[in-house]
Amino acid sequence: MLVDFRSDTATRPSAAMYAAMQSATLGDDCKHEDPSVTQLEQEVADLLGKETGLFFPSGTQSNCTALLTHCRSGDELITGETYHVYRYEGGGASAFGGISFRPLPLEPDGGLNPQAITAAVRPDEDTSPISRLLTLENTTDGKPVSLDGMGAMAQAARSAGLAVHLDGARILNAALALNTTPDQIASHADSVSMCLSKGLGAPVGTVLTGERDFIRLASRWRRKLGGGMRQAGLLAACGKVALQESKTNLPRDHQRTAHFGKALAELAANAGQGRLSISVTPTNMIFVETSRQDLDSLCAKAKEQNMLLSDKMPLRIVLHRDLTDAHTETLLSVFAEHYGV
Ligand SMILES: *Cc1c(COP(=O)(O)O)cnc(C)c1O
């Protein structure tokens, strides 16, 4: 099998997940009658300090549902210009809900400037759309945004009467890196979406969490978007195992990222001025800046070792549960050979 460094979505189900699927109690989740799904929804809600949750086939559909539930047609939301909801979700909230986006540039920590949020809120007049929602992301590009930062952004939104949605696809990575608990981060948002299919390692699944009334309305939007699934407990069973296994997997991914990042940084220092520069996040991602030519050659050499690297610039390397120390050592030797160090 190919060793995939492109994303933490590349993981395969663990043995425990296959076993959990086999023994899961199932029902019709369109009627909210699948106990495996209901249990997972509550487990994630409890973890994030919210009343209840709703299971989705993807993070994109979960985010889209949250935006559609918070906003009405013609409303505007404020978000980051490189955040997933704006950049990678096909403009779903605009297409299906008539919602417009007001994207702001990111601060170096991955958050938004609270004063810029305040300034982006539209005046209350007939000529303006209604500013309804602030949508944040944590982690973003592998960076955890601090609790203080989250608090300041949420405060700017709340004092202008906006609700706050958090795209917490990797919120457990954020909590670990910030040495805090997920509910502390989630406390700054009204609704939080968390992926089970990233570093947690489930094949499919995201849970949207919030207050009970919000989730009831979200469930209607999920149906409209085609996200109502029948015996979804098969997937939820994997999600529950993923949550459990993440307690050991995520800390190990972060440690391995730090270790591998350090080795790459030493290699960069020896490779000579400006040939490559390494930026290591405190979670599971490393960014490598190098020339187009060098990257193409690295991708080709990695492929010879059955390893997949992203061909986008800058190179993003993502560690996850299916990668081992032996894999990072092999990749390090690919870099060492290419740069001749
Ligand atoms: C992966 C991801 C999502 C959801 O993506 P899906 O592929 O739809 O599951 C949302 N936000 C962020 C920041 C992500 O990384």
47: domain CATH number is 3.40.640.10
**281-44-217 Cα angle (round to 5):** 115
| Residue 325 belongs to a domain | yes
251 plus 283 within the same structural domain? yes
Distance from the CA of 20 to the center of ligand 1, in angstroms? 24
82 lines ligand 1 (CB under 6 A): no
Residues 48-94 have pLDDT tens digits of 999 999 999 999 999 999 999 999 999 999 999 999 999 999 999 99
> Distance from the CA of 168 to the center of ligand 1, in angstroms?
9
Q: Has residue 7 been placed in a domain?
A: no
- Residues ≥6 apart with Cβ < 8 Å to 266: none
Domain boundary pick from 183, 213, 244 = 244
Find out whether the beta carbon of 59 lies less than 6 Å from any atom of ligand 1.
yes
Per DSSP, 121 falls in state: S
Q: Please tell me the predicted confidence (pLDDT) of residue 1.
A: 83
Pick the closest to residue 237 from 269, 205, 210 (CA basis): 205
pLDDT at residue 274, rounded to an integer: 87
Is 264 part of a structural domain of the chain? Answer: yes
CATH number at residue 280: 3.90.1150.10
CB of 84 shorter than 6 A to ligand 1: yes
| pTM flag (> 0.95) | yes
**Residue in 189, 196, 174 with CA at minimum distance from that of residue 36:** 196
* 6 falls within a domain: no
- Give the separation between CA 84 and CA 175, rounded to whole angstroms: 19
> Under DSSP, is residue 130 helix (H, G, I), strand (E, B) or coil?
coil
> What whole-number percentage of the chain has pLDDT above 90?
99
Distance, CA of 147 to CA of 96 (rounded, Å):
32
Same domain, 154 and 226: yes
CA of residue 61 to ligand 1 center, whole Å = 9
* Residues 285-302: tens digit of each pLDDT: 999 999 999 999 999 999
Which residue out of 195, 208, 284 has the highest number of ligand 1 atoms within 8 Å of its CB and is therefore the one to mutate? 195
Q: Are residues 100 and 166 in the same domain?
A: yes
Domain boundary among 244, 269, 284: 244
CB-based contacts of 41: which residues, under 8 Å, 6+ apart?
52, 53, 54, 55, 207, 209, 236
Is the CB of 201 inside a 6 Å radius of any atom of ligand 1? no
Query: What is the biggest distance separating any 2 CA atoms in the chain, rounded to whole angstroms?
Result: 64
Q: Tell me the pLDDT tens digit for each residue of 111-121.
A: 999 999 999 99
State whether 293 and 268 are in the same domain: yes
User: Which pLDDT score is estimated for 272?
Assistant: 84
Residue 59 Cα, ligand 1 centroid: separation in angstroms? Answer: 5
Distance of CA 153 to the CA centre of its chain: 19
Whether the CB of 29 sits within 6 Å of ligand 1: no
> CA torsion angle for 202, 110, 101, 90 (degrees, to 10)?
-40
Within a 10 A sphere around the Cβ of 65, how many other Cβ atoms? Answer: 31
Q: What is the C-alpha separation between 41 and 38, in angstroms, rounded?
A: 5
Domain check: are 171 and 297 in the same one? no
In a domain, 4, yes or no: no
Domain that holds residue 91: 13-244
Q: Are residues 179 and 298 in the same domain?
A: no
Note whether 154 and 165 are same-domain residues.
yes
Say if residue 59 is in the same domain as residue 178.
Answer: yes
In a domain, 1, yes or no: no
Looking at the structure of the chain, the number of domains it has is 2
Distance (Å, whole) CA 233 – CA 236: 5
189/253 same-domain check: no
Q: How far is CA 206 from CA 59, 129, 163, 236, 239, in A?
A: 5, 30, 21, 9, 9
- Among 216, 244, 272, the domain-final residue is 244
What are phi and psi for residue 199, nearest 5 degrees? -60, -20
User: Is the CB of 110 within 6 Å of ligand 1?
Assistant: no
Give domain status of residue 98, yes or no: yes
CA of 271 to the centre of ligand 1 (A): 35
Q: Do 33 and 49 fall within a single domain? A: yes
Same structural domain, 37 and 112: yes
Kindly give the distance from the C-alpha atom of residue 289 to the centroid of ligand 1, in angstroms, as a whole number. 23
Ligand 1 closest atom vs CA 89: 8
Q: Is 10 in the pocket of ligand 1 (CB under 6 A)?
A: no
Q: Are residues 38 and 52 in the same domain?
A: yes
Mean pLDDT of the chain: 97
Identify whether 8 is part of a domain: no
